[in-house]
Structure formats: C-alpha cells, structure tokens
Amino acid sequence: MSTEKKRNSFSGSIGFVLAAAGSAVGLGNIWRFPYLAAKDGGGLFLVVYLVLALTFGFTLLTSEIAIGRKTKQSPLTAYSKLKSGWGFLGVLACIVPMIIMPYYCVIGGWVIKYLVAFVTGEGGIAAEDGYFTGFITANVEPIVMTVIFLAVVAFIVLRGVNKGIESFSKVLMPILVLLVFGIAVFSMTISHTDASGVTRSGLDGFKIYVIPNFEGLTVKGFFSVVMDAMGQLFYSLSVAMGIMIAYGSYVKDDANLVKSINQIEIFDTAVAFLAGAMIIPAVYTFMGTEGMAASGPSLMFVSLPKIFAAMGGVGRFVGILFFAMVLFAALTSAVSIMEAVVASFMDKFRLSRLKASLITIVIALVGGLAVCFGYNIWYFEYTLPNGAVAQILDIMDYISNNVMMPVVAIGTCILIGWVLKPKTVIEEVEKSGCKFGRKQLYIVMVRFVTPVLLLILLLKSLGIVTVI
C-alpha cells in the first residue's frame, strides 16, 4: 500500500499519451515502415496495417497499459502480482528491453554522428560510398557516440517520471511531429531528372505509397503482408517489451484509459504514415523503384545521405532537419526502453532510482560495447533461422523482436484471455467510469485471434513455417 502511494505518476493524460507515443515513434517507424509499405503494395500495406492497429495492436496495447495501472508495478513484478506462478512472463518482458537497450544506444550514436556531419557541412562526405562502413567498423568513434547518446537518455530517466520523461516528451514530441510533417510535405514537392533523362517527382512516389497495388497478389502474398504489418506493430506500438506496463503503472486511477489508448493509436499511426510520406517520395524521386528496396541502416545511413547530397544546397538543411528528427525519435524510444528496466529493478529489488539507473547504464554500456566490437574485433557472421546473415546487433535484434516479444505477447493473451479472463482488463479500463466501446472486439481478439496470429508470426520467425 505504501509503495503504491509513493509511486510517481504522470500529471495528466496528455503527459502519458505523449510519453507513450514517443516510445512508439522510434527507429522502427522511420526505417522499417516505409520499406515494408513499398515492398507490400503501398496502399495495401497501409490498409492492412490500419486494420491490425485497430484490432491486434489495440488488444496488446490495452492489455499492457491496464496491467500496469492495475498492479502499479513494472513488467518484472506486474505479472506475478496479477497471478501467482506467472512471474516468468515478467522476467521475459524485462529481458526484452535489456537486450534492445544496448544496440538501440549504438544506433542512436550513429544518428548523432550523421547529424554532426550535416551540421558541420560534411553531409557530402557522409554520402560517399564506404563512409558508413568506415564509421561503424572504427575502434573508437562509434563507442564515443554511443556513450554520448546513452548519457542523454540516462539524464532524462534519472530526472524521474514528471521532471524527466513527461517534461521531455511534452517538448520533443510536438517538435518531432512538425519536423516529420514538414519533411513529408517537402518530399512531395521535389523532382529530379536522372542521367538517362527520366524525370521523377515526389508526388509520383507518394502515389506509389498510398495507392494499393494488387498486381500479382496471391493468397500467400496477402498473408505475407499481414505478417509484415503485424511484426511492424511490435515496433510501432512498443508492445511486448514491458514499456507500456511500466508507463501504465504511472497512470492515475481516474484517467480515461479508452481515450488515452485511442489517442496513442492515432498519434502513432499518423507518424508512421508520415514517415513513409517523408521517405518513399524522396527515395523514388532520386533512386526510382529500385532504391525503395532499402531498409534499416542502409536506408537511413547510406541511401538518404546520397539523396540529400543530390538535392544540392538545400540538401544540407534537409539533412540536418531529418537527422534531428531521427535523433528525437530515437531518444523518446530509448528513454522508454531504459525506464522499463529501471522501474523493474526499483520495484523488484526496492532500489532507489539512482541505483537502478546506474545498474541499467552499466548493462547498456557493456552490451553497447559488444555491439560496437561486433563490427570490428569481434566480427563474425551467423545465419539466423529465417535465413538472414547476422552479427551481434542482428542476433540481439532477432532474439528480442522475433522470438521473445511474440512469446511475451502470446503469454499475455493466455493469461488475460483464459486464466484471469478478459474482465480483468475490462474492469480496469472502465474503472474511471469511461465506456469501453471496443469491449466485445477486445474479448474476441485477446482470446482467439491475437494469440493465433502471434503463434503464426513466431513460427515464421523461427523458420518453422515458410509457406502460409
């Protein structure tokens, strides 16, 4: 009882929504969403993603936020408080952000490097072939950039829920949205004539992005789109990694959860859409349909700098705005990832925020060093079950995102849908007197549809199911 009274909370729903949306709006939205949209038929992917966001994503998001507020605990301890014997699920939910945090800080360091390059007028050099590889394989500079990024994240988390996470989100999230929107509008106004005399425009690229392409679509192809969209939702909504449970535990009992969840869905979907509108038109204009096949680091740190360089003088300014926006997105997500771990240590071991943060910083730093070394002195290649060739960062990403997150999500659905029954979450959502409009949809999704889809996604990630 006393622990719950002392627990910090968001000052209001706006602070919670912006913090949760900030967690959701991360690198996955920026470098993965546009690629999947381009690969999976443009508007077709958008429609499937929207449907899944309002059903599949809504179910997981609602469950985790409700679990957090009901238990007033972080992921490591929330599940055991809900149901004795289910603490193992909390351990898994806590391990996920512990794995993600180190390599996320490394990538955040990469973003800082490119932002500095464009600010100092070296954007043209950053666009040259081999620049990115030369940077990440260096012995010292990637580590320095990682430490800088980690220090900023740690500073925010150390300041606590109100003065740190909430205040930070209220400032950065509106700026981030303005930057994404501004760059998206600019991308649709540009045009370029290549060496062969072919002229392409950003508006044409935008049409490719939003207009569904059913050419050659098969049943197997459609299910592939569904799986891609569902996998993207883990990145987009920050579910199955303990974050929303931790943030939910800071939500006041009189807050309208239905309204907050709806706002998070809208916010995240809008930014994900704008990320595609920002990147796909620009990539298409300067690189054609072939360039749209890039994703991940190769998109952000190789393809886009070349595009900014091709824009001429305005490219430097656009590059600065773009990497500033990416840095803001990376910071808001990294803060939530670290907070999920810090809150878990505080609740489980009764540690102060300072002690829990220091332990978490050490974990992030050690893991971050391993990731950096994975590109030079510890470099090796390993073939994952899904056929991808990987090294340390890719392996950590695969284990956390492709294996552990679906397992945590499946376990959550089983616990809520069948062991405790959906009324556990429904009662928590309606506690403040708000009407749960999608109550029946939630029951069907959490008990039947969501766990089945998650199981298929897990089997596909493990390489067990290759043909659907």
- Tell me how many degrees the CA angle 170-176-178 measures, rounded to the nearest 5: 105
The identity of residue 15, as a single letter, is G
Q: Does the predicted model carry a pTM greater than 0.75? A: yes
Residues 354 and 158: beta-carbon distance below 8 Å: yes
H or E segment to which residue 192 belongs: strand 191-193
Rounded to whole angstroms, the Cα distance separating 55 from 176 reads 27
Rounded to whole angstroms, the Cα distance separating 248 from 16 reads 8
- Residue 12: the pLDDT is 86
Residues 409 and 59: beta-carbon distance below 8 Å: no
Rounded to whole angstroms, the Cα distance separating 325 from 182 reads 11
Name residue, tokens 């580590």: 143
- Residue 3: the pLDDT is 40
The identity of residue 179, as a single letter, is L
- Residue 464: the pLDDT is 86
Residues 316 and 121: beta-carbon distance below 8 Å: yes
The pLDDT tens digits along the chain (468 residues) read: 334 446 889 988 999 999 999 998 888 888 889 889 988 988 999 999 999 999 999 999 999 999 999 999 999 999 999 999 999 999 999 999 999 999 999 999 999 999 999 999 999 999 999 999 999 999 999 999 999 999 999 999 999 999 999 999 999 999 999 999 999 999 999 999 988 899 999 999 999 999 998 988 899 899 999 999 999 998 888 899 999 999 999 999 999 999 999 999 998 889 889 999 999 999 999 999 888 877 788 889 999 999 999 998 899 999 999 999 999 999 999 999 999 999 999 999 999 999 999 999 999 999 999 999 999 999 999 999 878 899 999 999 999 999 999 999 999 999 999 999 999 999 999 999 999 999 999 999 999 999 999 999 999 888 887 755
Residues 147 and 108: beta-carbon distance below 8 Å: no
Round the CA-based radius of gyration of the chain to a whole number and report it. Answer: 21
What domains can you pick out in the chain, each with its CATH number?
2-461 (1.10.4160.10)
Distances (CA, A) of 141 to 63, 109, 152, 373: 41, 9, 17, 12
Q: Is 240 left (phi over 0), alpha (psi -120 to 50) or beta?
A: left
Q: Kindly report the number of other CB atoms within 10 A of residue 6's CB atom.
A: 7
Rounded to whole angstroms, the Cα distance separating 29 from 33 reads 5
- Residue 2: the pLDDT is 38
Name residue, tokens 């900030």: 22
- Residue 73: the pLDDT is 97
Of 174, 157, 173, 176, nearest in space to 165 by CA: 157
Q: What is the tally of helices (H) and strands (E) in the chain?
A: 25, 4
Q: Which residues of 345-374 are buried (b: 16+ CB within 10 A; e: fewer)?
A: bbbbeebebeebbbebbebbbebbbbbbeb
The identity of residue 463, as a single letter, is G
Q: Helix, strand, or coil here: 84?
A: coil
Distance between terminal CA atoms of the chain? 49
The two beta strands, 199-201 and 389-390, are: unpaired
Q: Which residues contact 306 (CB under 8 A, 6 or more apart)?
A: 127, 286, 287
